Structures are given as structure tokens and as C-alpha cells.
Amino acid sequence: MDSKIQEQIDKGEMLPLMEEFYTIQGEGFHTGKAAYFIRIGGCDVGCHWCDVKESWNAELHPATESLKIIENVKSHANTVVITGGEPLMWNMNFITKKLREERIKIHIETSGAYSLSGSWDWICLSPKKTKLPLEGIYTKADELKIIIYNKNDFKFAEEQAKKVKDTCELYLQPEWSNREKMTSQIVDYVMQNPKWKISLQTHKYLNIP
């Protein structure tokens, strides 16, 4: 890679952009709200059920100027969700600083496996067993979202919930391919443990991005 491009990537002035689109947030606390999604390429967490495995190899996604991405956000929405892949593999300081200057609300969805960079209005932490979050992010998370693939994930959810702050919103979300089996178990669990809420991938039911 050209050394100048690599330098811009290191500073966060360019990012490996997989895709960007304006849609309705389908999951978690902000479900139903319009938002501009920025999906950053690159992830080594390796969830076997990941539905965007094409995001894993950052080299497949072109390095794009962060300022160009921000211009696209400004023309569509006042809320942006930065997701991946794993966005914290990259320096988020530059893009979030510029978004904040435009008075755009900035959300992130992350596994927490990398150090937190950037300035955020909302942090959705979705821990994965394959590569656990760094300890520092737990107290900063506004939302904890645990993907439930099998019954063992309920124990993992409780272990993770012990680490976040008291005001953190707690969500259990059925893994899409296993939703018919797990949704009823999640309903029962939430009714018995009402500190949790159910998150569904409503965008998939609505057939939108």
C-alpha cells in the first residue's frame, strides 16, 4: 500500500469502507430510528454465525476519505452508526471529531475487542466469546447486546452484564439463523429476568438494509 495512504489510514483520515447506506436502525435501544450506517471493513473476532463475513478482510474494501463519508452522512441524516466488521480496529478520532463539528449524533456498534478511540453519543457493546472485550470499555457502554445462539449464551450474558454500569441497557438478541429455536427461550428468560430486554433484527423482517 502507498505509504501516504497508509499514513492517512493510521490517522483515521481514510478508512476501509465496505458500504454506507441510509436506513432504519433495526436492533437494540434505538430500533425504529432513521440513521446513516457506515460499515468499516476488517474484523478478526471470527463469529461463526456472522452475517457479514465479507467485511472481515479489510484489503477487499477501498480506503475512502473520511471527509467524503461525512459529506454523504450530512446529506441524509443527523444520526450515524459506525459498525463493521470491527470499527475499533481503526482510529476513530478523526471521523468522530468531524461528525461532532457537524452536530451529528454518533453511535458505534463494537465487540470491544480493541481499544476505544473516538467520541461517541452511544456505545453499543456486543461481546463475543471468541475475542472478549477489553476491560476499559465495559463502564463506557450505554447498551450491552448479547447474541443468543444457544442456551449457553445466557450464562455468558450474565457474566458480561456484571461488568457494565448500572445504567447500561441490557439486550438479548436471537441469532438470525437460529431464531425459531431461541426466541421462545429468550422470551421466557426475559420474563424471569426482567432487567433484560429483547432485541430483534427488525430490519430483516422489514426486508430493508
Tell me the pLDDT tens digit for each residue of 79-101. 999 999 999 999 999 999 999 99
Query: What pLDDT shows up at residue 87?
Result: 98
Q: Please state the separation of Cα 168 from the chain's center in Å.
A: 15
Q: Each residue of 162-171: pLDDT tens digit?
A: 999 999 999 9
CB 147 within 8 A of CB 109: no
Distance between CA atoms of residues 84 and 18, nearest Å: 8
CB within 8 A of 36, min separation 6: which ones? 20, 21, 22, 72, 73, 76, 77, 79, 80, 81
Q: Identify the residue whose cell numbers are 457502554.
A: 141
Domain boundaries, the chain: 3-205
Whole-model pTM: value is: 0.96
Per-residue pLDDT of the chain (209 residues; tens, 9 = 90+): 688 999 999 999 999 999 999 999 999 999 999 999 999 999 999 998 898 999 999 999 999 999 999 999 999 999 999 999 999 999 999 999 999 999 999 999 999 999 999 999 999 999 999 999 999 999 999 999 999 999 999 999 999 999 999 999 999 999 999 999 999 999 999 999 999 999 999 999 999 99
* Fold classification of 3-205 (topology level): TIM Barrel (3.20.20)
Q: Quote the Cα angle for 20-73-1, to 5°.
A: 55
Pairing outcome for strands 34-40 and 14-24: antiparallel
